[in-house]
């Protein structure tokens, strides 16, 4: 979901080198960070109902 929507970089859990390379790339490219953040926000706004999710979190917190 993240890579398909250009909302972040990914690495396999076993790929420590790939993870570090991705982190370095983000540190070195603020424009890429902004683009990925924009894409992630756009995806979330299109696919998630904040009111329904917020209500569910409120109920969970009250139960705890």
Identify whether 11 is part of a domain: no
Provide the pLDDT for residue 5: 94
- Weakest-pLDDT range from 22-26, 31-35, 51-55: 51-55
The predicted model scores a pTM of: 0.73
User: Do 32 and 26 contact (CB within 8 A), yes or no?
Assistant: yes
How confident is the model over 7-11, as a mean pLDDT? Answer: 95
Range of the domain at 33: 16-63
Identify whether 3 is part of a domain: no
Domain total in the chain: 1
Provide the pLDDT for residue 34: 98
Q: Per-residue confidence at 56, pLDDT binned at 50, 70, 90?
A: very high
Cα gap 49→61, rounded to integer Å = 19
- What is the DSSP secondary structure assignment for residue 5, as one 8-state letter? T
């Amino acid at each position: 979901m993240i890579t398909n929507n250009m909302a972040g970089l990914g690495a396999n859990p076993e790929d420590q080198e790939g993870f570090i390379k991705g982190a370095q790339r983000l540190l070195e490219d603020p424009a890429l960070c902004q683009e990925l953040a924009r894409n992630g926000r756009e995806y979330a706004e299109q696919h998630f109902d904040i009111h329904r999710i917020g209500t569910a979190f409120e109920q969970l917190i009250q139960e705890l």
